[in-house]
A and B are shown apart, each in its own frame.
Chain A
Amino acid sequence: MYLDNSATTQVSEEVFKEMEPYFIEEFGNPSTLYGIGRESKKALNLARQRVADSINAKPEEIIFTSGGSESDNLAIKGVAFKLAKKGKHIITTNIEHPAVKNTLGFLESLDFKVTYLPVNENGVIDIDDLKDAITDETILITVMHANNEIGTIQPIGEIGKIAREKGIKFHVDAVQSFGKIEVDVEKLNIDLLSLSSHKINGPKGVGALYIKKGTRVVPLIHGGGQERGIRGGTENVPGIVGFGKACEIAAEKLDEHYKKLSSIRDELIDKVLSTIPEAYLNGSVEDRLPNLVNFRFKAIEGESLILLLDAKGYQASTGSACSSNTLEASPVLTALGLDPVDVHGSLRISLAPESEAFDVDEFVETIAEAVKRLRQMSPLWNQELDYDNIMCKKHEDNCRKC
């Protein structure tokens, strides 16, 4: 059972069928004038319309990119470079996706100033902090709609209102929320919005940036004038076609999927918290995506838990440092104020519409057994430790974290 849909999703049959002709038969370059090129252009236009419709935008406001990370880069660097003469201050949160966080870090190296708003224990920012952070130099506010690790939703509508009143550009990374909850760029006063295809049962390597009419950005990729000169390079036609179809399906079935997924989610939360001792939910119970939950279990380490669950046929993920390429504990879970030891015991479960045939009882029982087993092995469970007598020899070996 695949339960890591926040990492990526399976391409749906319908999406795949829609893409198929654009590899071999309809392989034309949309920028060419003859028949086969025109077919590709038509397909591109239809996809653009579908993406636009799904977020209440106009087709000319959609720029296709290679995915969420490129969209975030284009939005943030694009606005920052465009407006650098007006000001060099950007506001964000301390739980953004690395595509936002590291882009802002890069801008800081170019003398931009970034304010990172803290989140409370539920993973949500305080609007007053945002108001206080705004200066005459502020050119951009960039806040994720829903968090990729804990699934909590930020007050995007309120932020959008403030940004619009102050004339500050507002970028939203909607990679996780899109297709799960309503994303309406008009209602939410959004100027730039990042989308990704592979999180909504579309293909990988394609995404979009919504750029509100009148908002200007400096391109990242200069080239042959594609995407209104904002994103050079021959378009990924099959990918874009698949993405368009995935958007259409996600928008059509939004309510149906929401009901289905949130009921599984709530059952999962109830059962995990009531049957497993010292189990906690990370992030708020309310204001949460219908498809994502993140738990933590005392005295165990997440990578081990993932391996045990995988052996039983369940694929999920963890914010434990031990499972990451950098050996750094999840900055998102750390930002919630959790004890670093507890961050290691986190488990993220993310559902997709195809998760419906999923036996929650059996899954929770499997988690409970795995947690119990790891606790039996753990010197942290039910034992008093004399920390003064513990040697941490890691220092000798250039362990970055401790």
Chain B
Amino acid sequence: MDYSEKVMDHFANPRNCRMMEDANGVGTVGNPTCGDLMTIYIKVNDDEVIEDISFQTFGCGAAIATSSMITEIAVGKTLEEALKISRNDVAEELDGLPPIKMHCSNLAADGLQAAIENYYENNQ
């Protein structure tokens, strides 16, 4: 697979890859049958800022790298800002993804959205 150096770096040295016990928002997206399943954990403070974010991913190099990358992009952002992060933003930050991976493994933005939605549900 023709991955950029940044993708390979995030795959080989994933940032914030862990389960988060005290998360107040958790989102899981994907489908293991298709080869990708991603859980994003967020800890949101009273100002609705993402204080901490982590992930666990079953999937290919691109799935792991995009998960890792979104934790770096989203940390410190307000929920409003974080909801604006798109799949393309994640891919661009990684210097691109192979075209075939753009739709199938580029799930991190969806995962973050799911985690934020979960946070809102928990804190209505």
Contact = CB atoms under 8 A, between A and B. Distances in A.
A392 B64 contact: no
Interface stretch (B31-39, B42-50, B72-80, B88-96): B31-39
Interface residues of B, number: 34
B103 A377 contact: no
Interface string A270-302: 000000000000000000000000000001110
Contacts of A303: 1, 35, 60-61
Given A307-B11, A327-B100, A394 B31 contact: yes
Contacts of B63: 301, 322
Contact of A323 (B1, B30, B34, B110): B1
A303 B63 CA distance: 10
Contacts of A301: 35-36, 58-60, 63
B12 A311 contact: yes
A118 B98 CA distance: 35
Contacts of A397: 103-104
Contact of B104 (A327, A344, A380, A381): A327
Interface in A296-350: 299-301, 303-304, 307-308, 311, 320-323, 325, 327, 329, 340-341, 344
Secondary structure of the B contact surface, majority rule: mixed
Nearest to B105: A322
Given A311-B12, A390-B28, A379 B34 contact: no
Contact of B34 (A299, A311, A321, A391): A321
Nearest to B32: A341
A318 to B, nearest CB: 10
A398 B103 contact: yes
B14 A340 contact: no
B84 to A, nearest CB: 17
B29 interface: yes
22 contacts: A300-B58, A301-B36, A301-B58, A303-B60, A304-B61, A307-B8, A322-B60, A327-B100, A344-B32, A377-B17, A377-B56, A378-B56, A390-B29, A390-B37, A391-B28, A391-B114, A392-B31, A394-B30, A394-B103, A397-B103, A398-B103, A399-B104
